[in-house]
Amino acid sequence: MPLAHTDRAYETELKDLREKLLSMGGKVEVAISRCVRSVTERDSQLAEKVKEGEREINRLEVEIDDACRRLLALRQPAASDLRFITTALKIVTDLERMGDLAVNIAQRAFELNQAPPLRPFPDLTKLADLAQEQLRKALDAFVESDVQKAEEVMKGDELLDTIYKKLFNELLIFMMEDPRNIRRTAALMFVAKHLERLGDHTTNVAEMVIYMVRGTDLRHPRSRQAELERIERG
């Protein structure tokens, strides 16, 4: 049974921060799921809900930033508390960006839903499913402090990129086949790009979870080869 902080108010503040982050993560998950369905099911009402939900996500971002600053200034956190708070400060930005991407996708849905449907693209569904699964897994990794899950997310991003590239080419060919498709296909291309970016933000979250748990920063391996080898050797 892990020990609680002697200062109960501090313990509560950390718990509140954690709950706010989880709540924000949950809202981002819902936004992503809705914006994807607004495209695949051609449902503009869902797209509308995504736009409404963004305000809540933005509000939580500011609240979480505030809570982190307050904790840093007043509690001088150390060790795992410090890593948790700095992680919160970073992933909150990624979560907020994901919220923005959901809105961008919803906006493309409005356009697409006003025009006649295009033929289905199974790779788009695949991309959307994987992006959502990745996000869910990254948030689980955060909740459970699960390094293994976070590592799976980092690996999963490669697959996401591969599907994106394949889909991009499919859409390009589809445009070339008939110029009348260009406007709608371009909208789909944006949707695909936003999903791919979503994957990148998800990967950031996963990297920060690993830092939070282990205390080692694994980001940018190519720029930091020597340093990471040193960390590896201990």
CA distance 31 to 49: 8
Least Å from the CB of residue 83 to another protein: 7
| CB of 64 or CB of 213, closer to another protein | 213
Q: Which of 72, 82, 143, 147 contacts another protein by CB under 8 A?
A: 82
By beta-carbon proximity to another protein, the closer residue of 215 and 221 is 215
Cα–Cα distance for residue pair 90/70, rounded to 1 Å: 15
Binding residues among 22-81 for another protein as defined by CB under 8 A: 76-81
In whole angstroms, give the CA distance from residue 89 to residue 168: 33
Decide if residue 4 touches another protein (CB under 8 A). yes
Q: Report how far apart, in Å, the C-alpha atoms of 52 and of each of 30, 34, 106 are.
A: 12, 12, 11
Q: Find the shortest distance in angstroms from Cβ 215 to another protein.
A: 3
CB of 228 to another protein, least distance (A): 15
Are the C-beta atoms of residues 181 and 175 closer than 8 Å to each other?
A: yes
Which 189-218 positions form the footprint of another protein (CB under 8 A)?
214-216
| Cβ neighbourhood burial of 83 (10 Å; 0-12, 13-18, 19+) | middle
Q: Residue type at 119?
A: R
- Give min distance, CB of 85 to another protein, in A: 11
For another protein, give the closer residue by CB, 79 or 226.
79
Q: Which is nearer to another protein, 197 or 214 (CB)?
A: 214
What number of residues does the chain have? 234
Q: Which two tokens stand for residue 128?
A: 């959307």
- The residue ranges that bind another protein (CB under 8 A) are 3-7, 10, 76-83, 214-216
